[in-house]
Chains A and B, each alone.
Chain A
Amino acid sequence: AQSVAQPEDQVNVAEGNPLTVKCTYSVSGNPYLFWYVQYPNRGLQFLLKYITGDNLVKGSYGFEAEFNKSQTSFHLKKPSALVSDSALYFCAVLRRGYSTLTFGKGTMLLVSP
């Protein structure tokens, strides 16, 4: 069975500080990995994905994620957080050859002024 773990329900960070939102996965093969962000009463917005190649993936709004195969992790990072980054973040995996995503439970990011 495949699973995605986001170990933190909430991450608090001060504006201007670096942020990390953690994600680990347990999926056979070499899955595709995604990060989505959700603002209140909105749909999920695609941030970035890893398919193959460079382990550091750059995405929208200054976010990036680091793929680590040995640790089966795909942590989301940003060098300098903004208050407007406060939202719910979901990590998801897509097993190759399949059509459906498996989501983590989500991590609420709160950036304080």
Chain B
Amino acid sequence: DAMVIQNPRYQVTQFGKPVTLSCSQTLNHNVMYWYQQKSSQAPKLLFHYYDKDFNNEADTPDNFQSRRPNTSFCFLDIRSPGLGDAAMYLCATSRESSGRTDTQYFGPGTRLTVL
């Protein structure tokens, strides 16, 4: 089945220790998104890739970076995690063509704990 996969599902890191979360998709979608979600709040968009074009949200901290080496994979790097970065991180994908964006499909998420 075509899907969005996130690894790991649970990640524990130490304060200030860099961490990388990964997302892969078999949907062949050209747009990939990273969201941060805290305690049953709405997901907050961090950034998204339209093909190789990176689009950062204005209020995303510099501590968060992303890489998309190819269509299928996208990574979220947190350079120096703070306690406030503990959250669920959600990856999503969609197909956009001719100026029209279709449904976003989400992965299962990675729960990040910062000690």
**B-binding residues in A (CB < 8 A):** 32, 34, 36, 41-46, 49, 88, 90, 94, 96-101, 103-106, 108
CB contact under 8 A between A106 and B106, given known A44-B90, A98-B101: no
Asked if A106 and B108 make an inter-chain contact with CB atoms under 8 angstroms apart, the answer reads: no
- Whether A96 pairs with B100 at a CB distance below 8 angstroms is yes
Among candidates A34, A88, A97, A106, residue contacting B99 with C-beta atoms closer than 8 Å: A97
Q: Which of A88, A94, A108 contacts B101 (CB 8 A)?
A: A94
Give complex CA distance A43, B21 in Å.
Answer: 15
Interchain CA distance A106-B90 in the complex, whole Å: 16
Can you list, as one digit per residue, whether each of B1-25 has a CB less than 8 Å from chain A (1) or not (0)? Answer: 0001010000000000000000000
Expressed in whole angstroms, the minimum distance between the Cβ of A103 and any Cβ of chain B is: 4
Query: Residues of B contacting A101 with CB < 8 Å?
Result: 45, 104
How many chain B residues have a CB neighbour from A under 8 Å? 28
With contacts A90-B42, A99-B31, A108-B40 taken as known, whether A43 is within 8 angstroms of B106 at the C-beta atoms is: yes
List A contacts of B73 (CB < 8 A).
none
User: Which residue of chain A has its CB nearest to the CB of B88?
Assistant: A41
Interface of A is mostly: strand
Across the interface, do B94 and A106 meet the contact criterion of CB distance under 8 Å? no
Contacts of A98 in B (CB 8 A): 101
B101 lies within 8 A of A99 (CB) = yes
Whether the Cβ atoms of A46 and B105 lie closer than 8 Å is: yes
The answer to whether A41 and B31 touch across the interface, beta carbons within 8 angstroms, is no
Across the interface, do A105 and B41 meet the contact criterion of CB distance under 8 Å?
yes
**Also in contact, A99 and B96, with CB within 8 A (given A88-B40, A106-B41, A106-B42):** yes
Judge whether A34 and B45 touch: CB under 8 Å: no
Q: Using known A-B contacts A41-B109, A43-B108, A44-B90, determine if residue A100 contacts B45 with beta carbons closer than 8 Å.
A: yes
Q: Which of A44, A100, A108 contacts B106 (CB 8 A)?
A: A44
Scoring B residues 47 to 80 as 1 if CB is less than 8 Å from chain A, else 0, what string do you get?
0101000010000000000000000000000000
